[in-house]
């Protein structure tokens, strides 16, 4: 059996502050394709299915942090509506160009609004959302910050927090390293996608972070092919 690689903290190009719109657009398009073809979207929708009931506003209020092009909020809005649920999604990204691209991509729907904000300084009151989600986002941070973010997401949620991220392993690393090159993906994706796998988590690491964030009762699912989906309950009312 292959040993699990050490967790990497090397920087991703996507996290640079001076990326061009064309580069972000190209890399986000490739991430969108990965979500569609490699299980990311399916894993998220499956985890959200039990949480689609409307909240106090009469509809499901959801926050998606580190939203990228907002492809997942859009997929979720369609999915919720096809299940008869009314939904409003707030999609947050720190990068102004990315937030602009997400706003353009969601312009045709009133179900998704885009807010440019830093996940560590979110401009929302506690318990503002029924559900908080973050996909392929937590791997951008070190353990202490992952714990801080989980804690803050739990206090923003009334019901649950759903985290969808990458499982660190040599197999998905080798796979995405080769496929990204052979299929001539965008250079930012070619650099960041295999690195993201090395910045991903093992199941025990995510369990430890959830426990340190104060969640006594949580669920961790492995989803095909190399995804981890962590579902935490909202923080108890103060
Ligand atoms: C790998 S992309 C994931 C996009 C999307 N969630 C998906 O799964 O397709 C990570 C996103 O997180 C954003 N991001 C990174 N640090 C952030 C922060 N501190 N606050 C908010 N967004 C951040 C980046 O700008 C980027 O768009």
Q: What burial letters (b/e) apply to 26-60, b meaning 16+ CB within 10 Å? A: ebbebbbebbeebbbbbbbbebbeebbeebeeeeb
The pLDDT value given to residue 203? 98
Q: Which residues contact 168 (CB under 8 A, 6 or more apart)?
A: 4, 5, 7, 197, 198, 199, 200, 201, 202
Give a yes or no: residue 9 inside a domain.
Answer: no
| Nearest-CA residue for atom 12 of ligand 1 | 66
Over its length of 238 residues, how does the chain's per-residue pLDDT go in tens digits?
778 999 999 999 999 999 999 999 999 999 999 999 999 999 999 999 999 999 999 999 999 999 999 999 999 998 888 888 899 999 999 999 999 999 999 999 999 999 999 999 999 999 999 999 999 999 999 999 999 999 999 999 999 999 999 999 999 999 999 999 999 999 999 999 999 999 999 999 999 999 999 998 999 999 999 999 999 999 987 7
At residue 190, φ and ψ (nearest 5 deg) are -60, -40
Give a yes or no: residue 124 inside a domain.
Answer: yes
Q: Which residues contact 150 (CB under 8 A, 6 or more apart)?
A: 138, 161, 163, 209, 210, 213, 215, 232
* Terminal alpha carbon distance of the chain: 46
217 CB neighbour count, 10 Å cutoff: 8
Give a yes or no: residue 62 inside a domain.
Answer: yes
- Number of compact structural domains in the chain: 1
* Full-model pTM: 0.97
**Residue range of the domain that includes 148:** 17-167+202-233
In order of 76, 93, 154, 168, 224, the CA distances from 46 in angstroms are 10, 23, 20, 21, 12
Q: Which atom of ligand 1 is nearest to the CA of 64?
A: 6
CATH number at residue 38: 3.40.50.150
Give me 220's structure tokens.
């961790």
The angle formed by the CA atoms of residues 38, 134 and 233, to the nearest 5 degrees, is: 115
**Cα 219 to averaged position of ligand 1 atoms, centre (Å):** 23
The residue count for the chain: 238
Q: Looking up tokens 């398009």, which residue turns up?
A: 29
Q: Which atom of ligand 1 is nearest to the CA of 35?
A: 9
Give a yes or no: residue 186 inside a domain.
Answer: no
Average pLDDT taken over every residue of the chain: 96
Q: What's the DSSP call for residue 27?
A: H
User: What percentage of residues in the chain have a pLDDT greater than 90?
Assistant: 94
Give a yes or no: residue 238 inside a domain.
Answer: no
Give a yes or no: residue 5 inside a domain.
Answer: no
Give a yes or no: residue 139 inside a domain.
Answer: yes
Ligand 1 within 6 A of CB of 200: no
The angle formed by the CA atoms of residues 180, 13 and 73, to the nearest 5 degrees, is: 75
Give a yes or no: residue 142 inside a domain.
Answer: yes
Ligand 1 within 6 A of CB of 93: yes
**Cα 65 to averaged position of ligand 1 atoms, centre (Å):** 7
pLDDT digits (tens, 9 = 90+) for 179-229: 999 999 999 999 999 999 999 999 999 999 999 999 989 999 999 999 999
Q: How far apart are CA 130 and CA 160, in angstroms?
A: 7
């Amino acid at each position: 059996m292959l040993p699990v690689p050490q967790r990497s903290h090397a920087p991703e190009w996507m996290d640079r502050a001076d990326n061009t719109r064309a580069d972000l657009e190209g890399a986000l398009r490739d991430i969108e394709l990965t979500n569609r073809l490699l299980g990311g979207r399916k894993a998220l929708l499956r985890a959200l299915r039990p949480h689609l009931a409307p909240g106090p506003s009469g509809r499901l209020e959801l926050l998606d942090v580190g939203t990228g092009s907002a492809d997942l909020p859009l997929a979720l809005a369609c999915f919720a509506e096809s299940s008869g649920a009314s939904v409003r999604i707030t999609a947050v990204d720190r990068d102004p160009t990315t937030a602009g691209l997400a706003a353009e991509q969601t312009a045709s729907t009133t179900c998704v609004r885009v807010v440019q904000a830093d996940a560590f300084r979110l401009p929302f009151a506690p318990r503002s959302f029924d559900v908080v989600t973050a996909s392929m986002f937590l791997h951008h941070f070190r353990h202490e910050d992952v714990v801080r973010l989980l804690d803050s997401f739990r206090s923003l949620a009334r019901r649950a927090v759903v985290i969808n991220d990458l499982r660190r392993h040599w197999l998905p690393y080798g796979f995405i390293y080769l496929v990204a090159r052979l299929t001539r993906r965008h250079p930012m994706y070619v650099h960041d996608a295999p690195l993201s796998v090395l910045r991903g988590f093992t199941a025990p690491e995510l369990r430890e972070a959830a426990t340190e964030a104060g969640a006594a009762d949580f669920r961790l699912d492995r989803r095909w092919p190399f995804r981890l989906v962590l579902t935490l309950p909202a923080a108890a009312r103060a």
